[in-house]
Amino acid sequence: MIARDLMNSQFPYYVTADADPAYVASLLSRCQTGAIQVVDERLSPIGIVTRSDISDYGKDGASAAHQTSKSIREFMTPHPVSVDETTALVEILRLLENRPLKRIPVVSGDRLVGLLLSKQVIDAAARSTDVVSTEVVSSQPSADVDRPHQGEFSAAQFRALVSAHELALEAESAQHRQQAQELREQRIKEMAAKRLSDAAWRQMLTSARNAASSGMREFMLIRFPSRLCSDGGRAINAPDARWPETLRGEPADIFRRWRDELQPEGFQIAAQIVDFPDGVPGDAALYLMWGGGENQ
């Protein structure tokens, strides 16, 4: 028995690190496992958020999340311990003996494919009769063991098993891409409707000041999907001097606050496409600059 056989049959909820805490709190209210996985753009697990992580900031997780401008990165427990989908039950038990984990992300390569609950592992171990025997395998066949009949195993059968596994992985990968796309669409919708609060703007400026104290000459004010721009980020990528006209939602508010409050004080602002998934503009970012850079 391996991790793939034990993990939760329902694919785990997951979000990216810049997800809105209020949105994550709403997911947690519907999530039976009590945890949300935090992943990067490759769907690699980088953190985990539980109901207690959110509730630490208020008696009600959702209301507490609404009262902060932070992303879920500020709430999550980073660097979760994960296991590969082929990890044997006995190895998972050893892990739980050394680490009091309630939930363990399951990965295939680097990609999140499931979630293990410690209760599921312990229940499976209690039902299993071969956990101990898997630790020691005799190198010599027993005289009592029946030998396979000729034709019972064939290379063609094994190749068919490989093909079936590859097809299953391909279908699973397509499902992950669809879920990532749905998550991105939700993120774009939320950011288009979100407005910049005074508290959030003050926090950005405080963080920028801290960056300057560390010797930095610029600070990323916000990272957002390029599709939030009216032209999909093409003007930013060109670059075209008219790129501010394409901004929507919170990024547009940030630009206006810079123009009205910070530009007269000598600050500059720049926009840049920061990644290119599948060769097309992915996320964009706005940078506040105060020395050594040029306005774009």
Alpha-carbon span 8 to 125, nearest angstrom: 16
Q: What is the CATH number of the domain that holds 87?
A: 3.10.580.10
Strand 35-39 to 45-50 pairing:
antiparallel
What are the pLDDT digits (tens) for 224-240? Answer: 888 889 998 999 999 89
Please indicate, yes or no, whether residues 211 and 118 belong to a single structural domain of this protein: no
Final residue belonging to a domain, choices 114, 134, 154: 134
Mark the ranges of the chain whose per-residue pLDDT is less than 70: 8-12, 55-69, 127-153, 157, 160, 163-164, 167-168, 171, 173, 292-296
Please indicate, yes or no, whether residues 130 and 202 belong to a single structural domain of this protein: no
Write down the residue that tokens 């892990």 correspond to: 95
Give me the pLDDT at residue 69, please: 52
Please indicate, yes or no, whether residues 130 and 241 belong to a single structural domain of this protein: no
Give me the pLDDT at residue 121, please: 80
Residue 61 lies in a domain: yes
Range of the domain at 283: 198-289
Residue 145 lies in a domain: no
Residue 165 lies in a domain: no
HEC string of the chain equals CEHHHHCCCCCCCEEECCCCHHHHHHHHHHCCCCEEEEECCCCCEEEEEEHHHHHCCCCCHHHHHHCCCCCHHHCCEECCCCEECCCEHHHHHHHHHHCCCCEEEEEECCEEEEEEEHHHHHHHHHHCCCCCHHHCCCCCCCCCCCCCCCCCCCHHHHHHHHHHHHHHHHHHHHHHHHHHHHHHHHHHHHHHHCCCCHHHHHHHHHHHHHHHHCCCCEEEEEEEEHHHCCCCCHHHHCCCCCHHHHCCHHHHHHHHHHHHHHHHHCCEEEEEECCCHHHCCCEEEEEEECCCCCCC
Please tell me whether the peptide bond between 12 and the residue prior to it is cis, using omega within 30 degrees of 0.
no
Give me the pLDDT at residue 236, please: 94
Give me the pLDDT at residue 150, please: 58
Residue 79 lies in a domain: yes
Residue 185 lies in a domain: no
Residue 144 lies in a domain: no
Give me the pLDDT at residue 95, please: 84
Final residue belonging to a domain, choices 134, 163, 178: 134
Domain count, the chain: 2
Give me the pLDDT at residue 55, please: 67
Give me the pLDDT at residue 134, please: 44
Model confidence, pTM = 0.43
Give me the pLDDT at residue 112, please: 85
Final residue belonging to a domain, choices 134, 166, 181: 134
Please indicate, yes or no, whether residues 217 and 127 belong to a single structural domain of this protein: no
